[in-house]
Chains A and B, each alone.
Chain A
Amino acid sequence: MNSTSTNKPYITLDKISKSYSKGKKQVVVHDNFNLTINRGEFIAIMGPSGLGKSTLLHLIGGLDQPTSGNITVDNEQINNLSERKLTQWRSENIGFVFQSHHLLPVLNAKSNVELPLVLTPLNKKQRQQHAKLALKLVGMSDRAQHLPKELSGGQEQRVAIARAIVSDANILLCDEPTGNLDRGSANEILALLATLNKDFGKTIIMVTHDLNAADFATRTIHLEAYINQQSAINNEVTTS
């Protein structure tokens, strides 16, 4: 698969730790975790449940804050931003695709896609044009007026992807986008993401259990092995 990635670090997770309290217990999800992602990469993060794959996505997307460490995206340290600035940053830079698509049931496909554009200075006509274009890109033009309940699972996920790219966010964060789909639909979605990465230069970070994902991504991170490898390096550094 072709890649539009550059070797310039675009997203950097530097010594990230993340823990949370569960009753009296402190649960450590990540400890001194490092990751560098280049612009234009399509990364598939795989691994068993409970390793903190989704947490990584939430941290990169500014939905959650690390306990310690720094997250830099395009030279901007996002973990120091205020909630208000972070919200705005997210709306300008990040597109989310969730496993359960989370489309609004009362809005048709076009209105669902148009929703993030309400956060921009575009007028109604411009918003509609952008939404139309995004739907065309994901091959859903003929379903623009359909409500989510009138679409198949794969079609719903395509609309969710259109919503994620409509405001021209550079980064797409996908949390199990094929988790609820059959094999055929899942492959279609993966191919679509690969196209967005290859032809439109989107940086895509995808958490998945889908074994086929590696065929579409430019880099696959098996999180368990990656963490072990990092621990070994850290230990080596400490010992020496």
Chain B
Amino acid sequence: MSISIAINQALALSIINVKSFPHRINNYLVSIISIACVAAVILTVLTMTQGMIKTLAQSGHHNTLLVMRSGAVSELQSVMFPSEVNLLANHQQILRDKDNRPLYSAEMFVNAELSSQSNEHVPAKIEKLALRGISENTFYFRPDFKIVSGKKFKTGIRQLIIGRAISRRMPELMVGKTIKLGGTKWLISGVFSDNNSVFESEIWADLGMVQSDYQRGNSIQSLRLAIKEGTDIANLNQEWQIDPRLNVRTELEQVFFANQGENLTRLIRWVGFPVAIIMALGAIIAALNTMYSAIASRSKEIATHKAIGFSPFAILFSIISEALLIALIATMLAITPLYILFDGWTASTQNAATLSQLMFNFDISFTLICQTIALSSLIGFLGGLLPAIKAMTLPITVAIRD
């Protein structure tokens, strides 16, 4: 038998199955719903993971060294003092500006409580947001920083700018509005973007004002240093580790955020994927049941095909393609509403490292859709394989007599 005839056979039976699909849709509903649920969970987990990784991956620069207190896993847990800043910033490997001043950014990072109350009869709603105290130098380290509305804050007064991700999620935080952070009122002077990085989930204000408001004296929490190209980070780290005047840990900013992303997404994967796997097993069983009963009800039809001379391969192919069609329909049913309702939506989650909210874009990309279709197809394939083998080996004489 030539390959083209074999393919013709397989396609002919598959087309018949597709044509008869609407007549049997009720029998397939359980499978379709189960696979659709799995596809929705898979797509959500993949999109969230991808969104967070993308947000955090875009948040660091390869020539920026992040310095924190030794043992601190996040900026929130760190504390550093001016003497340490001076020592570190004046190292020979640190870049200098045109006025020969070291390029560094001393920053404060607090978990600020935003209190909002629509009217006096309703209890105030508290949202935890990341507030970063910055200086003019900070903008050197954020080359993608842009003011998208309003203007930068003025130093020495309680003005702040909010990240675009916060602005999207909380549109009530408009430029010109006064908000209450902790116990004091701040004026929103602008909204900024930073290439969809994690910083768009933050509020930025003058370092001095934040230090003062949160009674931190002249301490800071993290230091960003611009290092010269080709600097041996390991050596530099070792040098500072053995310096008795310093008690710090250093890491490339890019690596720091990548690790933070890994920690965040690991949790989602550990929770999301086991749920998806359990649901997938259920969906496979549902698909198996559906396909077994489909074959049982069509045993005469299958036997007739075999009697006419259709090859066992064509029978196998047609049953598997039917199961794949079920999976494809289910996946489309899951993807379409998710895409229409949530694509481009700014989602937020608790960032365990900073205890504040991390906003990220829920972008349902073509790649993620393809991955979801591939995983759902695998479920369909596994659900269809055993019934297809049963159909392939169905004794014709028994089926025709039954």
- Interface residues of A, Cβ cutoff 8 Å to B: 54-55, 58, 61, 63-64, 83-84, 87-88, 90-92, 96, 98, 100, 102, 104-107, 115-116, 118-121, 163, 175
Per the bound structure, the CA–CA distance linking A16 and B214 in Å amounts to 100
CB of A87 within 8 A of CB of B311, answer yes
- Report the tally of A-B residue pairs with Cβ distances under 8 A: 72
Per the bound structure, the CA–CA distance linking A83 and B1 in Å amounts to 13
State whether A63 and B401 are in contact (beta carbons under 8 Å apart), knowing that A105-B20, A118-B8 are contacts in the complex: no
Per the bound structure, the CA–CA distance linking A91 and B12 in Å amounts to 15
CB of A100 within 8 A of CB of B300, answer yes
Per the bound structure, the CA–CA distance linking A147 and B307 in Å amounts to 22
State whether A90 and B16 are in contact (beta carbons under 8 Å apart), knowing that A64-B397, A104-B301, A119-B9 are contacts in the complex: no
Of B1, B2, B4, B8, most A-chain CB atoms within 10 Å: B8
Q: Which of B265-318 contact A (CB under 8 A)?
A: 300-301, 303-304, 306-312
What are the residues of chain A within 8 A of B98 when measuring CB–CB? none
What are the residues of chain A within 8 A of B304 when measuring CB–CB? 96, 98, 102
Of B12, B300, B307, most A-chain CB atoms within 10 Å: B307
Per the bound structure, the CA–CA distance linking A92 and B185 in Å amounts to 90
CB of A107 within 8 A of CB of B16, answer yes
What are the residues of chain A within 8 A of B312 when measuring CB–CB? 83, 87
Per the bound structure, the CA–CA distance linking A106 and B21 in Å amounts to 9
Per the bound structure, the CA–CA distance linking A92 and B396 in Å amounts to 18
Q: Does B400 contact A (CB under 8 A)?
A: yes
Q: Does B5 contact A (CB under 8 A)?
A: yes
Per the bound structure, the CA–CA distance linking A61 and B307 in Å amounts to 8
Residue of B whose beta carbon sits closest to that of A175: B400
CB of B309 within 8 A of CB of A119, answer yes
Q: Does B245 contact A (CB under 8 A)?
A: no
CB of A121 within 8 A of CB of B306, answer no
- Interface residues of B, Cβ cutoff 8 Å to A: 1-2, 4-5, 8-9, 12, 16, 19-20, 23, 300-301, 303-304, 306-312, 396-397, 400-401
**Min C-beta distance of A190 to chain B, whole Å:** 21
What are the residues of chain B within 8 A of A106 when measuring CB–CB? 16, 19-20, 23
Per the bound structure, the CA–CA distance linking A121 and B306 in Å amounts to 18
With A90-B308, A163-B308 known, 7 other A-B pairs at CB within 8 A are: A91-B310, A102-B300, A102-B303, A102-B400, A119-B5, A119-B308, A119-B309
Can you give 29 contacting A-B residue pairs, CB < 8 Å? A58-B397, A61-B307, A63-B397, A84-B1, A84-B311, A87-B310, A88-B1, A90-B308, A91-B308, A91-B309, A98-B400, A100-B300, A102-B300, A102-B301, A102-B303, A102-B304, A104-B16, A104-B20, A106-B20, A107-B16, A115-B12, A116-B308, A118-B8, A118-B12, A119-B310, A120-B5, A121-B2, A121-B4, A121-B5
Per the bound structure, the CA–CA distance linking A87 and B5 in Å amounts to 13
Per the bound structure, the CA–CA distance linking A87 and B9 in Å amounts to 13
What are the residues of chain B within 8 A of A115 when measuring CB–CB? 12, 308
What are the residues of chain B within 8 A of A100 when measuring CB–CB? 300
Per the bound structure, the CA–CA distance linking A104 and B12 in Å amounts to 12
